[in-house]
Structures are given as structure tokens and as C-alpha cells.
């Protein structure tokens, strides 16, 4: 039962993380290869503030602001770059943030990591046990899902998809493409920060090695496998991949084989990504021709 709850909590946290990337990658067409940076910023900020006795509610808000602010600052120069260069810039940013976690020892305790992160208290209710944390993660992921769905189905989301489809035509119709991209990127960063904060308070220990490129690859794979640019794709992808990843971890293998697990998992994920690109680039769920608009019937 505990194992099952643990699995569910991890899945819920990664659903939020994947949803946030889906807004950028799936709907806006932004190839963000440094998404883990915002997950990490959320985790570190919330952990550090609560460790310094700031109440969780406030610490969470601050960490979302930090992740969003980081996203805003990165977006200003990088979103002026074209597609692939944007990808490289975000990749570099992800590494920079990890190196900051590692080297700013006075703040982050460096490679030793931050132990003893408290379980959150929301409005004087403590989420300490697994079932309690499950509820917390569930509430936040449902909230994220519906907020993003509202955003995506709105005229704002329509502009994002248009930018993904043809940036020049969108610009020619009078939409400020740059500004829409910044908004999408900042929103995605804030949500990634939320996922990171929830994750930090769940594991109670974070260190720079939790926020490497392979995290970004995992969340990319979740979005691409599930179906980018679909509402349920990231949910499905997170369920499948996190289930797979976590069950590998709990396999009872003889001790001499366990050291092969991590590289093996990387190989499987890499192969999966390649196979997907070849055989089903649109993912398991694909975008449908009929899309609902905000509360109106398009049928006659």
C-alpha cells in the first residue's frame, strides 16, 4: 500500500511537471531543454525558505515567483533566438542552474544537498503521512490540469498554437508573437516550480544531482510519449514512465546487478525516444481535428 501511494504521489508530481512542459513544447512549440532548472528552482527555494522557518504557504508562493521570475529573465534574451538556438540556450541555462546549486555552498550546501526538508503545513494542517501527501499532490495536480485546460482552450491558447504552427502568419495577423511566447514560458516555469517544490517536500532531501539533464529528458519523454499538444497526453505519459521508473527501483535484484539499473534505464528511455520519433512522432494520444472552444458549440 505504501509503495502504491508513493508511486501515485510521484506520478502526480510528474504530471504537473509534464503539463508545464506541454504548454511550452506541445502548444507553443518551444523546445525547452532546460526545463529541469525551474523544477530545481522551485525545489530549492521552497526547501530553503521553510528551513529558515518561513511558513510553507508563503515559501511556496515565493518559490513560484522565483521560478516564474527566472523563466521571465531567461525568456527575454533566449526567446529572441530561433528554434534550435533557443533549445541550446535553455540547455545551457539548465546546466548553469545546476552548477549554481552545486557551487553556492553558503546557500545550498553544495553537493551535500539539503536534508531535513519539512513536510508542508497548509493553513495549520500538516501533510506528513503518505495518504495526506497523496491528497496534497492530487489537489495540486487537478488544479494545474484545469487551469492549463482553461488557458489552452481560451483565445490565448489558440494564439499559442498558431505560433507553433506558423509564427510569421501569426505575426502578420497582428499578434505580438514574442510577448505570447514569454507568457507561455513564464507560466510553464511557474508550474514546473510548483512540481519541484512538491517534490522537495516529499523526498525531504534534495541535492544538485537531482536536477540534471536526464530529468529534462525524462519529462520530455513523458510529454512526447503521451502525446504533446493534447490535454491528457502528459497525464498518460507520466503514469506509464514513472510507473516504469519507480518499479525498476523497487525490483529485488541481486546486489551485483543494481549498479546496472540506472544506465539501463537511460538506455531504455533513449531507445524509446528514438522508436517514438520513427514510428509515432505524435505520441500515444494525438491531436484531434475537433477542438472544443470556450463554452460554445461550433456545430450547427
Which residue, 162 or 218, is less far from another protein as judged by CB? 162
Per DSSP, the three-state class of 187 is helix
Which residue, 209 or 293, is less far from another protein as judged by CB? 293
Interaction residues for another protein, span 183-222 (CB under 8 A): 183, 187
Query: Which residue among 161, 203, 212, 217 contacts another protein (CB under 8 A)?
Result: 161
CA distance 21 to 189: 8
CA distance 76 to 69: 11
Contact between 203 and 39 (Cβ < 8 Å): no
Query: Which residue among 155, 254, 255, 256 contacts another protein (CB under 8 A)?
Result: 155
Alpha helices in 79-173 (DSSP H): 83-103, 105-108, 130-153, 155-165, 167-172
Alpha helices in 232-280 (DSSP H): 233-249, 255-258, 261-279
Q: Is 139 in the site for another protein (CB under 8 A)?
A: no
Query: Which residue among 103, 128, 129, 176 contacts another protein (CB under 8 A)?
Result: 176
Span interacting with another protein, options 83-91, 115-123, 155-163, 196-204, rule CB under 8 A? 155-163
Query: Which residue among 58, 150, 253, 262 contacts another protein (CB under 8 A)?
Result: 150
Query: Which residue among 2, 52, 172, 255 contacts another protein (CB under 8 A)?
Result: 172
Q: Which three cell numbers stand for residue 77?
A: 534574451
Span interacting with another protein, options 115-123, 149-157, 201-209, 253-261, rule CB under 8 A? 149-157
Contact between 67 and 196 (Cβ < 8 Å): yes
* Residues 232-251, mask of contacts with another protein (x by CB under 8 A): --------------------
Q: Which residue has the cell 497582428?
A: 174
Amino acid at each position: 500500500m505504501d509503495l502504491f501511494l508513493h508511486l501515485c504521489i510521484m506520478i502526480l508530481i510528474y504530471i504537473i511537471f509534464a503539463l508545464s512542459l506541454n504548454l511550452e513544447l506541445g502548444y507553443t512549440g518551444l523546445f525547452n531543454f532546460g526545463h529541469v532548472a525551474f523544477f530545481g528552482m522551485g525545489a530549492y527555494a521552497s526547501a530553503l525558505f521553510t528551513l529558515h522557518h518561513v511558513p510553507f504557504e508563503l515559501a511556496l508562493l515565493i518559490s513560484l515567483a522565483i521560478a516564474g521570475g527566472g523563466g521571465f529573465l531567461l525568456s527575454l534574451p533566449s526567446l529572441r533566438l530561433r528554434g534550435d538556438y533557443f533549445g541550446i540556450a535553455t540547455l545551457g541555462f539548465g546546466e548553469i542552474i545546476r552548477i549554481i546549486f552545486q557551487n553556492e555552498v553558503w546557500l545550498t550546501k553544495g553537493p551535500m544537498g539539503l536534508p531535513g526538508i519539512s513536510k508542508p503545513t497548509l493553513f495549520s494542517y500538516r501533510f506528513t503521512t503518505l495518504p495526506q501527501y497523496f491528497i496534497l499532490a492530487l489537489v495540486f495536480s487537478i488544479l494545474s490540469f484545469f487551469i492549463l485546460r482553461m488557458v489552452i482552450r481560451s483565445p490565448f491558447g489558440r494564439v499559442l498554437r498558431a505560433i507553433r504552427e506558423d509564427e510569421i502568419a501569426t505575426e502578420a495577423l497582428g499578434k505580438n508573437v514574442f510577448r505570447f511566447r514569454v507568457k507561455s514560458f513564464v507560466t510553464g516555469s511557474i508550474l514546473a516550480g510548483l512540481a519541484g517544490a512538491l517534490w522537495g517536500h516529499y523526498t525531504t532531501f534534495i541535492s544538485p544531482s537531482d536536477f540534471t539533464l536526464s530529468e529534462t529528458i525524462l519529462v520530455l519523454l513523458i510529454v512526447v510519449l503521451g502525446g504533446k499538444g493534447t490535454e491528457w497526453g502528459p497525464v498518460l505519459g507520466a503514469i506509464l514512465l514513472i510507473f516504469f521508473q519507480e518499479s525498476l527501483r523497487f525490483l529485488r535484484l541481486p546486489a551485483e546487478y543494481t549498479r546496472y539499473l540506472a544506465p539501463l534505464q537511460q538506455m531504455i528511455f533513449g531507445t524509446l525516444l528514438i522508436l517514438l520519433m520513427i514510428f509515432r512522432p505524435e505520441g500515444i494520444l494525438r491531436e484531434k481535428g475537433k477542438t472544443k472552444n470556450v463554452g460554445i458549440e461550433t456545430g450547427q
